[in-house]
Structure formats: structure tokens, C-alpha cells
Amino acid sequence: MRMIVIGAGAIGCSVAFHLAREGASVTVVDPEGLRGGATLTSFAWLNCHDKSPEDYYRLVMRGNRAHRALGDEIGHANWLKLTGAVEWWPTGTEKAREHSARLDRLRSYGHQIETLGAEDVLALEPDVSRSSLEGCEAVFYPTDGAVDTAVYRHVLMREAERRAASLVEARVTDLLERSGRIAGVRLHDGRELEADHVVNCAGRASNPIGVCLGYSVPLEWKPGMTVITDLCRNNVSRVIKAPEIYIKPEGAGRLLLHAKSADQTLEDIHAPDAGKAGAEEIARLVETVLPAVRDVRIADVRITVRPYPIDGKPVFGTLPGVDGYHLAVTHSGISLGPLIGRAAAEEILHGKISTDFEDYRPTRFSQSIGN
């Protein structure tokens, strides 16, 4: 079966791998190849802390475990770091009350959480400033992990290409419809690529590509940024969520950093200096938590617009009355990528409806069908 996968992000590469593994002839189409998109900008923290209700929490937990299973199948999971995560927040605040309710909910699900004192945090992460922990509560999430998104995409695409998949760097402008079904895609240069089935994993571009179908996913658009530091001496070994900044080891002494306050500086993401103020904010915040990286140089600023389905949940599956087409768009693309890839292969190649995504079909947005 000839397959076209639109988008080479975390979801698209997983779909391509799983389809190629099952013997499909797969072409992945993305204007930036493996160099861009929301996947590259993601903080890529595997966690379930804010996932509710319980069914959705369990789905994301299965997605996290699916990364390990995928690594076992390939022979390694060198994109995956399962070292847990440390988080702390000021006591006696509204945020503390929100955290308490969240921890109660997670514990009711059976989620593993360890309460820490300041000395416990410093034993896990000795570079952390003791002063940043004063007046704070802290916890450790032993089942949390992190993904190196560049490695993840390259490994899956390489494995797909070993099975004769190909990657075309081009922009899809439209879907081809023939005899009442989707039959391929049209590219920006006028070329047409034919296929037996198309899977739209284009993220923020998914609605414009599928506009001819009279359907769109209600999406919120949230600009965001992460930064990569230059090489610096540090001993950070796991995800750290301090009150104002997220910190993740990125290998070779580099750190991946994110702060919500930096996102708020992004008024025009296309401006030449769009990330300058945010990067300065992040550099200031990381120094308050990790004094050892004072005066750290920011090596790369990554900015994107993240698509969030309006209800915060994934969208995966077919559209009523449309043959030869699947749609997959979600904010949790890193966590759910392996599951979505597996579900696509099951549904398209074997006609087996995925139970993982039965509550997350596009049809739940009925008001958007036919508009």
C-alpha cells in the first residue's frame, strides 16, 4: 500500500516507521525535513501531572511506556532518559494549594510521588542553589522521563528509510480527491504525489491542508520558545521544574531551558529579534537555580507556534464520509507519538480500530464538520 505522511515531527516520524515496518511504501513530506517544527522546540518532558480525567492520564502513561517498548523493538532507545524529575514550589501560596490538589489526584491514580526535603533535592541535584529551595515544598517523580527530540526523529526516520520509506522536503498545499476518496497530495511547486492513503500529521498546518474536506479541528495557537545553552560545567541529570523555569540536560554539558514568562515576550515570532528578550529572561532565571552556570551563553533559540486542540486532548482518526485519510494532531505529540504510530498501522493496514483513541476521534468536534 502506498502511504503519504504529511509532517516529519514526532507524530509523523512514528507513523512513518510503524507503517514501513508493516511493509507499506511510505513517503513523508515536510517543508523543513527533520530540521524544524514544534517537535524541535518542545521541552519534551514525559509526565502525566496535568492529565485528567483518569482515562486521559492512563493514555499518556501508556504513551510514555510505549517509548520503552519502541526502543526494545529497535534495539535501543537512545532518545529516552528515564531519570525521573524534581519539582518544587513556594509554600502557603495559591500555587501550593493547586499543587496539593494535583498531587492528591495523582496519588489517587496510583502515581508514584516522593516527598523531598531540601537536602534530598541537593542529593539528587547538587548544582541547585540552596536559596532557591527556601520556603518551598518539593517532590520527586521517579517514573518521569525526557526525550531528545532530534535523536528520536532521526532514529525513527532512519529505521523507516531502511524499510524503503523516503522523505521529501516540500510543502503540501492540497489533498487530491478522486472517485470519492483521498488519492494523494499536491505540492507547492505543482507536483502531485499519489497514494492509497494519506495521514495528516502536519500540526499547525493540518487545518489548511484539510480545508477541502470541510473540516477543521478547533485549535488554540500558543507561541512558545526553548533555548539550548552552550557547553557549560554542570551536573544536572534529570528534569528540574523550579517555580519559574524548566531545566533539562541535553547532553555534552548543554541544557535545554524553558520558561512561561519567556513565552509571554513573543509578540511577533517572525521579528528578527523575536527571541532576544525571552532568552535574556531564561538566562536570568536559570542562574537563580543553578549558580554554576552563571553567565551561560545561549547557543540556540527555538521558537514556534504550538497547536492545542481546544479541549486539550489528542485528535486521531478518520473523518465521516472520507476514505483514504487519517488525521493526527495533538499537543502531546512527544508522549503519544509511539501510540499514534501503532494505531495508524493497525487501523490503516489491518482494519483494527484502536481502542487507545476511541474517545479522541475528530467526530467529537461535530460542529466543525461541514463548516
For 369, residues 6+ apart whose C-beta sits below 8 A from its C-beta are: 214, 215, 319, 320, 362, 363
* Mean pLDDT, range 309-333, rounded to an integer: 94
**Range with the poorest average pLDDT among 94-98, 116-120, 217-221, 333-337:** 217-221
What digits encode the pLDDT tens for the residues 127-180?
999 999 999 999 999 999 999 999 999 999 999 999 999 999 999 999 999 988
Reported residue count of the chain is: 371
338: preceding bond cis by omega (within 30 degrees): no
Residue 180: what pLDDT?
Answer: 83
CB 289 within 8 A of CB 129: yes
Grade residue 294 by pLDDT with cuts at 50, 70 and 90.
Answer: confident
| C-alpha to C-alpha distance for 93 and 100, rounded to whole angstroms | 11
Kindly report the pTM of this predicted structure: 0.94
pLDDT band for 309, please (50, 70, 90 cuts).
very high
pLDDT tens-digit readout, 23-40: 999 999 999 999 888 898
Distance in angstroms (rounded) separating the CA atoms of residues 150 and 27: 20
The burial class, CB within 10 Å (0-12 / 13-18 / 19+), for 63 is buried
Grid coordinates belonging to 259:
520558561
Mean pLDDT on 42-58: 95
**Mean pLDDT of all residues in 287-292:** 94
- SS3 for 331? coil
The arithmetic mean of pLDDT across residues 46-55, rounded, is: 94
Is the predicted pLDDT of residue 4 greater than 70, yes or no?
Answer: yes
* pLDDT more than 70, % of the chain: 98
**CA 212, CA 59: separation in Å to the nearest integer?**
31
The answer on pLDDT for 218 being more than 50 is yes
Domains of the chain: 2-74+149-217+310-368 (3.50.50.60), 82-145+220-309 (3.30.9.10)
Looking at residue 186, its pLDDT comes to 97
**Which among 93, 96, 67 is positioned nearest to 80, based on CA atoms?**
67
* pLDDT, position 370: 44
Q: pLDDT-derived band of residue 367, with 50, 70 and 90 as boundaries?
A: low
Residue 203: per-residue pLDDT: 92
Determine the Cα–Cα distance for residues 152 and 79; give it in Å rounded to an integer: 5
**How many CA atoms within 13 Å lie on the side-chain side of 13?**
25
Q: Are the C-beta atoms of 328 and 315 separated by less than 8 Å?
A: yes
Q: What is the mean pLDDT of the chain?
A: 94
C-alpha distances in Å from residue 354, one per residue of 335, 337, 345, 350, 357: 17, 14, 10, 11, 6
- 215 vs 347, residue with greater confidence: 347
What is the reported pLDDT for 371? 42
- Residue 313 pLDDT > 90, yes or no? yes
In this prediction, residues 206-214 reach a mean pLDDT of: 92
What was the pLDDT predicted at 12? 97
Would you state the pLDDT for residue 307? 86
Alpha carbons 65 and 339: distance in angstroms, whole number:
9
- Per-residue pLDDT, averaged over 327-333, amounts to 93
Dist CA 218 CA 160 (whole Å)? 31
